Amino acid sequence: MYRTNTCGELNRTNIGSHVTLAGWVQRTRKMGGMTFVDLRDRYGITQLVFSDNTNAQLCEEANRLGREFVIQIEGIVSERSNKNANILTGEIEIIVDKLRTLTSSEVPPFTIEDDTDGGDDLRMKYRYLDLRRSFVRKNLELRHKMTMEVRRYLDSQGFLEVETPMLIGSTPEGARDFVVPSRMNPGQFYALPQSPQTLKQLLMVSGFDRYFQIVKCFRDEDLRADRQPEFTQIDCEMSFVEQEDVINLFESMAKHLFKTLRGIELKEAFPRMTWHDAIKYYGSDKPDLRFEMKFVELAQVLKGCGFGVFDNAAYIGGICAQNAAVYTRKQLDNLIEFVKKPQIGANGLVYARVEADGSVKSSVDKFYTKDKLQELKVAMNANPGDLILIMSGDNANKTRKQLCELRLEMGNQLGLRNKNKFACLWVIDFPMFEWSDEENRLMAMHHPFTHPKDEDIPLLDTNAAEVRADAYDMVINGVEVGGGSIRIHDPKLQARMFEILGFTPEKAQEQFGFLMNAFKFGAPPHGGLAYGLDRWVSLFAGLDSIRDCIAFPKNNSGRDVMLDAPAPIEQKQLDELCLQTKQKE
């Protein structure tokens, strides 16, 4: 037996017991004739004590131990004199009488500590070492608990877990597919699924009624903190439901996860906001509602006063930052530089302070009378001590996005985006379509299987761009943690949808004939939702990136620097697949 106990379970009740432990050496400390070793395993850390007075040879062996050596010890549990309240075993230590080195270790390239000295790339290269850190391990433990809780909850609601294939046909409508060449079918390719969308719809046609799957999905798209080329969905579908049924069930599931995993009881119904209002008031379809700073449109107040930037703008909008009038000129200049960053792309901003006496001082005072500035204060519902920030532009939606970035930055600077505070929201009534300049046609905002709102179906023939979808996203703290829709189950309506999206009947049949044919045999009304497991875990763990809740993530270039993938393959493999490669110019 390598161990009788783990390094995280011994306490005062075990004092006097003879135990065997095994694990990794976290650190060693020599103090006079005593050597202390912190022994670590997945469960915690236990302090080991070696003494020259009792066993000089054993103490000498302990002094030769290096960081990350794997050892086994035997000894007596003793009460610790200098107790450590920061660890579970902080009241005890082990007086060692036997030591066995199981494996030695080279000096690791970074410290295996919560506050490590390893940078992102280095830790990703040696991810197996990074996973030894309790910070990362706890994230994966949380992920495990969440998947177990999800399965328990959905099972209690009558859902069946059904696996769908990883090798499917390519459906280019949407993000780019990862494709897999077929050796047995030369010149033909599988695709890795972006989601099991059509397959779960077929399960509904099959009468399975309630399906779920914790499933890997793949999208070949540009990466950022909350995206990976492969990610995990909690994928669900239900038959004989309307939008309200889906929202109610998965809101209940969200509350269950908050209560069981975070100890937070959310009693109130989650607020709902239309997509149109989210864009109008927050410049985003995933607004962070932990703080206000709602956009106020100011064209009627500020146009026509001789300030050309505003007079010629298609959109003027402002936010009010409470108690931020204390910002210095340098801080305000930094905000101007922030909105000018290439990734935001604004030309600048205008600011106005509401002074203690109620007067308003603006960066464009010479263009506006005192009465007009008071009108601005009233429009912004600003009070003494508040700071008004205003942006304008030729394109309303573009300017709103820029103002959204400024709002979030102010939320960060003013400490309003507390990771232990949660603001949950449903965004509903999305547009059915969005225009693509690149494709020069309407594209499905979600996917081509989303059902339009019943009252908007007549607009498909007259003004398709105005059609709203039976689609809904759950947003928490400005992060889309899940989304879904009611699906089309009428083959005629589905054919009409493909037509609007520019599919010829032949192309629609080629790509989605299997689904349209299935609909001919009695498809029930159905809808569903997919939660992003990685995003849920990172939200609950208070992470800025989903990478630290994934065991082996890719970096921002989509590379696995540990496995050095992607990588070239041998010519023999290329020949078997009937493939040729060429260098990109």
Residue 168: pLDDT band by 50, 70, 90 thresholds?
Answer: very high
462 CB neighbour count, 10 Å cutoff = 8
Instruction: Give residue-wise pLDDT tens across range 404-441.
Output: 999 999 999 999 999 999 999 999 999 999 988 888 88
* pLDDT of res. 437: 83
The CA distances from residue 315 to 126, 251, 284, 397, 499, in Å, are: 50, 36, 16, 9, 35
pLDDT at 585 over 90: no
Instruction: Give residue-wise pLDDT tens across range 147-158.
Output: 999 999 999 999
403 and 458 assigned to the same domain: no
* pLDDT of res. 487: 97
What size, in residues, is the chain? Answer: 585
* pLDDT of res. 440: 83
Query: In the chain, what percentage of residues exceed pLDDT 90?
Result: 88
Q: What is the DSSP string of 458-487?
A: GGGGT-GGG-BBSEEEEEETTEEEEEEEEB
* pLDDT of res. 174: 67
Mean pLDDT in residue range 552-564: 91
Strand order from edge to edge, sheet including 160-161 = 160-161, 210-218, 230-239, 526-532, 479-486, 471-476, 424-428, 272-274
345 and 261 assigned to the same domain: no
* pLDDT of res. 227: 83
- Residue 2 falls within a domain, yes or no? no
- Residue 222 falls within a domain, yes or no? yes
Choose one of 383, 413, 443: the last residue of a domain: 413
Choose one of 413, 434, 450: the last residue of a domain: 413
* pLDDT of res. 446: 87
Burial class for 428, CB neighbours closer than 10 Å (0-12, 13-18, 19+): buried
pLDDT at 282 over 90: yes
* pLDDT of res. 154: 98
Burial class for 542, CB neighbours closer than 10 Å (0-12, 13-18, 19+): exposed
pLDDT at 584 over 90: no
- What is the Cα–Cα distance from 374 to 379, expressed in whole angstroms? 9
76 and 169 assigned to the same domain: no
pLDDT at 442 over 90: no
440 and 512 assigned to the same domain: yes
Whole-prediction pTM: 0.92
> Which ranges constitute the DSSP H helices of 370-519?
370-379, 396-413, 491-500, 505-519
- What is the Cα–Cα distance from 334 to 180, expressed in whole angstroms? 48
* Buried residues in 71-93 as b, exposed as e (16+ CB within 10 A): bbbbbbbbebeeeeeebbbbbbb
Q: Is there a contact between 323 and 450 (Cβ–Cβ < 8 Å)?
A: no
Residue 172: pLDDT band by 50, 70, 90 thresholds?
Answer: low
409 and 446 assigned to the same domain: no
Residue carrying the six token digits 């290269």: 125
Mean pLDDT in residue range 208-237: 91
The CA distances from residue 31 to 82, 96, 233, in Å, are: 14, 16, 51
268 and 299 assigned to the same domain: no
Q: Is there a contact between 214 and 233 (Cβ–Cβ < 8 Å)?
A: yes
Mean pLDDT in residue range 439-454: 90
> Which ranges constitute the DSSP H helices of 38-115?
56-63
The CA distances from residue 115 to 41, 135, 563, in Å, are: 18, 9, 25
The CA distances from residue 112 to 103, 456, 515, in Å, are: 17, 58, 51
Instruction: Give residue-wise pLDDT tens across range 234-253.
Output: 999 999 999 999 999 999 99
Please choose, from the candidates 293, 478, 475, 295, the residue with its C-alpha nearest in 3D space to the C-alpha of residue 400. 295
Mean pLDDT in residue range 265-285: 97
* Domain extent for 174: 137-272+424-549
303 and 357 assigned to the same domain: yes
Per DSSP, 566 falls in state: S
Tokens of 487: 């699906």
263 and 387 assigned to the same domain: no
Per DSSP, 24 falls in state: E
Residue carrying the six token digits 């399960």: 203
- What is the Cα–Cα distance from 18 to 4, expressed in whole angstroms? 9
* pLDDT of res. 333: 96
Instruction: Give residue-wise pLDDT tens across range 116-151.
Output: 988 888 999 999 999 999 999 999 999 999 999 999
* pLDDT of res. 250: 98
529 and 495 assigned to the same domain: yes
- Residue 584 falls within a domain, yes or no? no
- Residue 559 falls within a domain, yes or no? no
437 and 387 assigned to the same domain: no
- Residue 277 falls within a domain, yes or no? no
- Residue 554 falls within a domain, yes or no? no
**Residue 298: which CATH number?**
3.30.1360.30
Instruction: Give residue-wise pLDDT tens across range 505-517.
Output: 998 898 899 999 9
Instruction: Give residue-wise pLDDT tens across range 472-503.
Output: 999 999 999 999 999 999 999 999 999 999 88
Mean pLDDT across the chain: 94
Tokens of 510: 């080629």
Instruction: Give residue-wise pLDDT tens across range 73-115.
Output: 999 999 999 999 999 999 999 999 999 999 999 999 999 998 8
Q: Is there a contact between 88 and 11 (Cβ–Cβ < 8 Å)?
A: yes
**Residue 19: which CATH number?**
2.40.50.140
pLDDT at 461 over 80: yes
Choose one of 362, 394, 413: the last residue of a domain: 413
300 and 256 assigned to the same domain: no
Residue 54: pLDDT band by 50, 70, 90 thresholds?
Answer: confident
- What is the Cα–Cα distance from 197 to 362, expressed in whole angstroms? 53
- Residue 493 falls within a domain, yes or no? yes
Q: Is there a contact between 502 and 441 (Cβ–Cβ < 8 Å)?
A: yes
Instruction: Give residue-wise pLDDT tens across range 362-404.
Output: 999 999 999 999 999 999 999 999 999 999 999 999 999 999 9
Query: Out of 147-161, 343-357, 434-448, 515-529, which region has the weakest mean confidence (pLDDT)?
Result: 434-448
* pLDDT of res. 439: 80
Q: Is there a contact between 163 and 147 (Cβ–Cβ < 8 Å)?
A: no
144 and 265 assigned to the same domain: yes
- Residue 118 falls within a domain, yes or no? no
Mean pLDDT in residue range 188-203: 95
- What is the Cα–Cα distance from 202 to 171, expressed in whole angstroms? 16
- Overall number of domains in the chain: 3
Residue 64: pLDDT band by 50, 70, 90 thresholds?
Answer: very high
